[in-house]
Amino acid sequence: MTNASRNLRRSVLAAAAIALLPISVDAGEYRLNVDRVTVDAGGFKRTGIGYNGASPGPVLRFKEGEDVTIHVTNNLSEPTSVHWHGLILPFEQDGVPGVSFPGIAPGETFTYRFPIVQAGTYWYHSHSMFQEPDGAYGAIVIEPKGREPYRYDRDYVVQLTDAHPHAGHRIMRNLKLMPDYYNRQQRTVFDFFKDSDKMGTDAAVADRLAWGEMRMTPTDIEDLQGFTPLINGKGPDANWTGLFKPGERVRLRFINSSAMSYFDIRIPGLKMTVVQADGNDVQPVSVDEFRIAVAETYDVIVRPTDDKAYTIFAESLGRTAFGRATLAPKEGMTADVPAMREPPLLTMADMGMAHGEHAGMDHGAPTQGQAPSHTMPDGTVMQGASHAGMDHSAHGAPAKPSTHTMPDGTVMQGASHAGMDHSAHGAPAKPSTHTMPGGTVMQGTSHAGMDHSGHGAAPAGDPFYAAGSGLTPKAANGGKFLSYADLKAQKPLYEDRDATREIELRLTGNMERYIWSINGIKHADAEPIRLVYGERVRFKFINETMMTHPMHLHGMWLILDTGSGKWDPVKHVISVAPGTTVYMETEVDAPGKWVFHCHLAYHMDAGMFRNVIVEGGPAKKAADLGVPAQETVR
């Protein structure tokens, strides 16, 4: 080949390369002013923090592929920050003061610049002190580049928050002084008499003694009561209303921006088709009701055909308050507002005290290509890799002593096997054997939330709650309640492969001192979690507390192990119910300094928080882990 022809070829290639570049790159510029605002919950008004003069702040609408520039001006007298919750971006843009950047000083403007590499529903909020519980949040809606696998005629953001008359720092102080300061649903002396009538005095006394021994209460479901749920900034009476034309498909982008409150959401009279969770499309699931953990998002599509109003009803998990909004053909139309259901009570299963509660039982990590087998009492052999949703409640209801033969031949008997660790007989990737009461031998590796109800047990509940848990959700109309087990990715984000390493994170706490921690160590005393670029880490979360913790990883996705293999859903927040073990995996593909924490505002600040450092990475992607980049404009 001559030099001339080589040069010609080179220039042709160069021209082709230029032609392949997008003709125009979207670049949007946005401004957020962090302001003191008035939060009006209807029942009370207070000073809070918002953006551009309001709480919630404006809905930021981005386009996938756009390069955004966001100028954030701090009009407060204290430092602030903005975290883009769920967005994949360079770590210097993540907005965690002291980790990603130094924060934004009073009077300063910080300019965030990052490309939008995803689509869906997300949100933003302050990551400084208690500004988020005080109102510093807003929604993000990202329009996808391509076509979405579902159709809708209009869409609304439905952002839930839990406005409280007390400021965040005061709430934290009260909880530290008296952890049940805000719990006004505790069992009373009269409840004891009622229970005595119902279950007999001996049983009622035994129950009180069992809880008293632990110095815990079954009513401890919401650390923080006394809030008013707001939907898009409006209380139940102000009644935010979204309009529709009968027959239209309406996409509702639910975002739970609450500091502390989970909600059970339903729209009486309408089925909801869940199409997206945490910004990622899922295979559509039709449900009557779903639970939204703090910081999660769910997009649902509803199709109201009648010319009437429908109530969006969001009951808090502890049933202490509800949020209410309306979908209506005309402004001013309303529908009935249902009564709240009875508050749930935690059970010994939620304490991890009851044997037989094996949801999320640890038999070790699942191993691809190695099908576990289960021999059932009737001699049936079960085989297959996916047993998600199984329930062991059969062999040992709390009040019924059970026998358990361990691999080493030890026979365990009794109702209370507190803190039993099944991991002993099932190291990751090593099949384990489990001898069932009937002498049945179970063998296999993945038994996450198995349902053995086939052999004479209560109906299977949600595998992501301890069997017998007081928190197991039930739809108000007896219909379908969404479970994590129903979530299947629409299009896998990552190639399905074995994890290269497992990291065990026990969720721990001291309720009485209101100290929350991971592996018994609070953030202030903890070393960062160190990850290496390119690995796939399997996080094993064991919830040893009685509270439900929404765990949130910054910068990288959490692939929730529901037993669906490559269809496992991809999320940014995964709720870990009490008394359960939940596995999630992360493809470590974002170098830099990140954080992993419980998204309950006061748990996070009380120490259930870890710094995460991702080392290594390709030359261009590897992060400078030295001084965080800083860009400040006056």
Residue ranges binding other proteins (CB under 8 A) = 79, 96-99, 102-105, 108, 127-130, 169, 172-174, 176-178, 181, 184-190, 209, 212-213, 215, 510, 512-513, 515, 522-524, 595, 597, 604-607, 609, 611, 630, 632
Measured CA to CA, the distance from residue 56 to residue 35 in angstroms comes to: 11
Amino acid code (one letter) for 482: L
Identity of the residue, 172 or 487, whose beta carbon is nearer to other proteins in the bound complex: 172
Identity of the residue, 99 or 294, whose beta carbon is nearer to other proteins in the bound complex: 99
For the chain, what is the radius of gyration of the CA atoms? 25
* List of residues 6+ apart from 581 with CB closer than 8 A: 360, 361, 362, 540, 541, 542, 543
Q: What values do phi and psi take at 196, rounded to 5?
A: -60, -45
Please, which residues bridge with residue 604 across strands? none
Q: Choose among 478, 469, 263: nearest CA to 358.
A: 469
Q: Give min distance, CB of 544 to other proteins, in A.
A: 13
Identity of the residue, 252 or 573, whose beta carbon is nearer to other proteins in the bound complex: 573
Q: Give min distance, CB of 216 to other proteins, in A.
A: 10
Region label for 27, one of left (φ > 0), alpha (ψ between -120 and 50) or beta (otherwise): beta
Burial of 105 (0-12, 13-18, 19+ CB in 10 A): middle
Q: What DSSP character marks residue 565?
A: G
Identity of the residue, 134 or 462, whose beta carbon is nearer to other proteins in the bound complex: 134
Identity of the residue, 133 or 360, whose beta carbon is nearer to other proteins in the bound complex: 133
Q: Give min distance, CB of 542 to other proteins, in A.
A: 18
Identity of the residue, 191 or 496, whose beta carbon is nearer to other proteins in the bound complex: 191
Token pair for 330: 């005309």
Measured CA to CA, the distance from residue 517 to residue 628 in angstroms comes to: 26
Token pair for 196: 């005595």
Q: Give min distance, CB of 207 to other proteins, in A.
A: 13
Q: Give min distance, CB of 115 to other proteins, in A.
A: 25
Kindly give the pairing relationship between strand 137-143 and strand 27-40: unpaired
Identity of the residue, 105 or 371, whose beta carbon is nearer to other proteins in the bound complex: 105
Q: How many residues does the chain have?
A: 634
Identity of the residue, 25 or 178, whose beta carbon is nearer to other proteins in the bound complex: 178
Q: Give min distance, CB of 210 to other proteins, in A.
A: 10
Identity of the residue, 477 or 632, whose beta carbon is nearer to other proteins in the bound complex: 632
Q: Choose among 465, 440, 423: nearest CA to 582.
A: 465
Q: Give min distance, CB of 129 to other proteins, in A.
A: 4
Reduced to 3 states (helix: H, G, I; strand: E, B; else coil), residue 138 is: strand
Measured CA to CA, the distance from residue 598 to residue 607 in angstroms comes to: 9
Measured CA to CA, the distance from residue 518 to residue 272 in angstroms comes to: 36
Q: Give min distance, CB of 593 to other proteins, in A.
A: 10
Identity of the residue, 90 or 607, whose beta carbon is nearer to other proteins in the bound complex: 607
Q: Report helix, strand and coil shares of the chain as percent, to nearest 5.
A: 15, 35, 55
Reduced to 3 states (helix: H, G, I; strand: E, B; else coil), residue 190 is: helix
Q: Give min distance, CB of 103 to other proteins, in A.
A: 4
8 A C-beta contact, residue 67 and residue 113? yes
Measured CA to CA, the distance from residue 80 to residue 106 in angstroms comes to: 8
Q: Give min distance, CB of 169 to other proteins, in A.
A: 6
